[in-house]
Structure 1
């Protein structure tokens, strides 16, 4: 209950204080490339209920695109403004709306696309999906250069499934087992520190 209350207050305050920045980013996206400002994608939420996550669009708008679901290295689909948004994590800010609506939390395991859910071991799946997914978690910090790591792999898709995903799930289980209010605050502060210092 306290976690949800904190999410509501913090996300509402964040949207209010950051509204000028959100507007500037939206205008930059529209000027940089044609297409919508926001990118929506289906993710797996709490208890396995799907929802459509919000992000600022960082790639060229291709409605019928059947490209890969993971981003690898200098992906040619990424726009100029998109590259900046990704490097600063500003593309994640619209997820404050998802937190406000209750689909997400500020801190929690990152929501996965449905395609990779079958790779979750059954017991692990139940535990990780027992909490709301978050904007940030320890895996997001430790794997902030995931795209570069996958770019170095011979088979990025396989590397994600066999190496990155299991590591992320271990972090997610650790979070669920030991989640506390103060732990969430520490993760938020650490995330801000990583973003600022880059």
Structure 2
């Protein structure tokens, strides 16, 4: 039920608002409005009510998501001229009123769903096999999440109460219901719906025996793999030629996400390049007149999957280093020209990389690309360093807006930057991309780390 509500709430509210606003303005919702409704559905389905987040986070993400969708719809409308088929007041009220309606609908769902889930007809009775750290984590999450509609009855473990008490603190809900040999009979007698097996993978004979005992029950059985010791990057269950596999490290940009990311990059990069064309000409002229050398500085960097790409920047130094030894720019670096210092402080030197985005080499948002020489050094010093290359490098990134821009004179600073890069891979969303872009705009003129 919660999944259904999460999937359809955003599109239903957004489309409902469109036709409601049109009706209030006495505008006939003709075929053009139907097409707009279909486009809105494609951009908002499946939705996310952020039920497991606090109200402030839900509100912020809901507004950011709708802002990005509204920008995309307006950009397409103006480029194609389709926007002129609609009433301007209707569009204005719809675009401004929908985020308010979405936040209100999400707030109502957060109140109503727990009551619906607590009804006996919808609740699922569950037990956990095994009493260990993983079982304790699962029990706490079930207890804290009222939207699951799952009621935990307790644990089955062959160890006695005192030994289990060492594994499960008083904060963990549920009690020991019996030994594992008692599981099958208990499930049949109590009508258990869900069984979570939280045993180590080395316990294969025991697991097989449990499955054999449960053959004549109708309970749903789930394995909770002991993989919390592994730092999962976009971990998920997948299939290879029909065989199930668990993804431990994977890019977030697969399938539809890949298309969404690429389309958003093309739309944003094209729009920005058109708007900043005069700035590009002025900066190019300034670079040419301020010091001898090429206007565009080209350097090899690592791109997607560690393949080398050529990255463009306005030259800000008197040298164009690109080899086995590349020295990072430092404060008061003598290689930086006077005009180049201004470009680096304002990030204007990065503007040619929007061309890299259109070429498909880079993205608007992603881990910043490092010089090849720096990659070869830090990949040997920092665990997980090369995982950042599971996505295209970006003009701006999560690390940069969190204070890790500019020189990384210590390994610890670079390691901290990599932590933010990997965090971006784990939690990517369009709203996160928009948040990073907006934060970058605020930082451009006042970032003390830029030199």
What TM-score results when the alignment is normalised by the length of structure 1? 0.86
Report which structure shows greater RCO (CA 8 Å, sep ≥6): 1
Given candidates 178, 186, 194, the residue that maps to 2:427 is 178
- Say which one has the larger Rg: 2
Q: How many residues align?
A: 186
Query: Matched residue of 2:310: which SS?
Result: strand
The equivalent residue for 2:363 is 105
Q: More helix per residue: 1 or 2?
A: 1
Matches within 5 A, 1:1-198: 1-61=259-319, 68-118=326-376, 119-120=378-379, 124-141=384-401, 142-144=403-405, 146-147=406-407, 156=409, 159=410, 162-198=411-447
Q: Offset of 1:68 from its aligned partner?
A: 4.1
Q: Offset of 1:140 from its aligned partner?
A: 1.6
Query: Matched residue of 1:41: which SS?
Result: strand
**CA distance 1:64–1:41, shift in 2 (3 Å):** closer
C-alpha distance in 2 between matches for 1:64 and 1:138? 25
Aligned 8 A contact 2:316 2:336 in 1: yes
Query: Matched residue of 1:138: which SS?
Result: coil
**CA distance 1:80–1:23, shift in 2 (3 Å):** same
* Structure 2: gaps (5+ residues): 1-258
Query: Matched residue of 1:129: which SS?
Result: helix
Aligned 8 A contact 1:34 1:61 in 2: no
* Structure 1: gaps (5+ residues): 151-155
Q: Indicate the RMSD between aligned Cα atoms, in angstroms.
A: 2.2
C-alpha distance in 2 between matches for 1:62 and 1:94? 16
Query: Matched residue of 2:264: which SS?
Result: helix
Q: Offset of 1:50 from its aligned partner?
A: 0.4
What TM-score results when the alignment is normalised by the length of structure 2? 0.39
Q: Offset of 1:197 from its aligned partner?
A: 4.5
